[in-house]
Amino acid sequence: MSLNAEQLSNDMVAAVKPVLQAHWGRAAPYASAEAQKLAICAVQIEAGYKSGELTAEEAGILRDMQASASRATLTTIETIGLIAAQDAINAALKVLSAAVNKAVGIAIL
């Protein structure tokens, strides 16, 4: 049995799509919600400082906490991108491996 490159390529794309969609479907709402929440915190810190509800020191600590939360969110979004790429490549390789095994006639991979 021979390998059909066009069919193989279509099968690999078909395997990759749901993987990327699954990650993006969860990452997009997360990124959007975090950006909104962090923006609201920034506004609350400044408003609290101006109204006297927060001292300058407290506002400074909360700004540092906000910077940390923002860094963590960005690290997560960056890492989710890597996970999505990894899972997509592995899904495509799995299809390739199955096709090669079928073409050769034995499970060599």
Partner 1 sequence: MTALLSTYARRPGTPLAFSFGLLLAGCSVLFVAPYDAIVDQSLTNLYAQTLTFLDRMERTADSYASQRAFYDEAKGTVSAIKVRAALLPKNSGTIKNLDELSGQYDRLAELHRRGPLVGLKAKIARELIDSNFRSLMQLELHKKLGAAVGSADQPQH
Which residues contact partner 1 (rule: CB under 8 A)?
A: 2-6, 15, 18-19, 22-23, 26-27, 30, 34, 37-38, 40-41, 44-45, 48, 53-55, 57-58, 61-62, 64-66, 68-69, 71-73, 75-76, 78-80, 82-87, 89-91, 93-94, 96-97, 99-100, 103, 108-109
Pick the closest to residue 58 from 49, 68, 71, 47 (CA basis).
Answer: 49
Beta carbons of 10 and 94 less than 8 angstroms apart: no
Pick the closest to residue 102 from 4, 12, 14 (CA basis).
Answer: 4
Minimum separation from the CB atom of position 32 to partner 1 (A): 13
Q: Select 13 or 37, whichever has its Cβ closest to partner 1.
A: 37
| Three-class SS state of 3 | coil
Q: Kindly report the number of other CB atoms within 10 A of residue 39's CB atom.
A: 11
Minimum separation from the CB atom of position 53 to partner 1 (A): 5
